[in-house]
Amino acid sequence: MPELPEVETVRRGLIPVMEGQRIARAEVRRPDLRFPFPPRMAERLTGATVTALRRRSKYILADLSTDETLLIHLGMSGRMLISGAMVGAFHHGTGLPVQALEGAHPEPLKHDHVILDMEGGARVTFNDPRRFGAMDLLATGAGHKLLDGIGPEPLSNDFHEIWLAHRLKGATPIKSALLDQKNVAGLGNIYVCEVLHRAGIAPMRLARDVTRAEVARLVPLIREVLAEAIEAGGSSLRDYRQADGELGYFQHTFRTYDREAEPCTTCATPIARIVQSGRSSFFCPQCQR
């Protein structure tokens, strides 16, 4: 499932073609994804202008001129694809000059579930083969069941050592504690594995046993790893693509994730793998204690 860096990368890719643009036509091609679509979704989106594109945790939020917000969750395999729009000097994924693609849109595919034709000529398509994604409409500024109880954004000033130390007091493994969205928003399995390696903390350590000095190191390391991943366009492992169709490449710099039996980049000890709460944890038995 896309984590914070992937969702942030998609949001940034959508800004040039969506923010400040009117949705000339919305097409909803099925009644639901993970949840049913809201009533009259196509009608409510058509004619609305996207006033801002925000992100909260792993969700994209498109504020509309109608005082509603379109909530988008990519799920396991969801992708937001752009066609018929300029991305730099050439259209990514084709190498063709922009002029050759202006106004050109591919025929909708089987798993193209929501299509937004923007007034500027771009088309934004939500494609989701596994249908674990979600879209909903809510009053702008209102709460939503998918957003309730989410902790602070790790790249914001609300996330700091005092907050994290307060949350890491239980008998939960530190890996699980950092994955808990109530403690910090947007972190997933990939980036928690990478953060814990840089911090020298084993994923099975209990959260309450993590020292205050280690917590102080965790906060900037979380920001560091996320910032590097965003700069790299996220991590492409299976289904994830950027909005322009390009792959992210942070996976090429993984220190532990998905590197079982490969040498640690710090000490050359083979990376180990265990299963915690049904998820694989990758770590160095020598560097992480």
Residues marked active site are found at 2-3, 58, 279
Residue type for position 27: E
| CA 161 – CA 184 distance, rounded (Å) | 12
Q: What is the Cβ-side half-sphere exposure of residue 107, based on CA atoms within 13 angstroms?
A: 1
Which letter does DSSP use for residue 91 in this model? -
Contacts of 115 (CB under 8 A, 6+ apart): 26, 27, 29, 108, 123, 124, 125, 126
Q: Give me the helices (H) in 147-211, please.
A: 161-167, 174-179, 189-199
Contact 122, 17 (CB under 8 A): yes
Task: Please enumerate, as own/partner, the contacts of 180-184 that have beta carbons within 8 Å and a separation of 24 or more.
Answer: 180/151, 181/57, 181/149, 181/150, 181/151, 182/149, 182/150, 182/151, 183/151, 184/151, 184/152, 184/154, 184/159, 184/222
**What 3-state class would DSSP assign to 143?**
coil
CA distances (Å), origin 212, targets 158, 198, 218: 18, 16, 10
Name residue, tokens 């990368």.
9
Neighbours of 82 (CB within 10 A): 25
Tokens of 46: 């058509």
Which run of H or of E encompasses 279?
A: strand 279-283
Strands (E), 106-214: 112-118, 123-127, 134-139
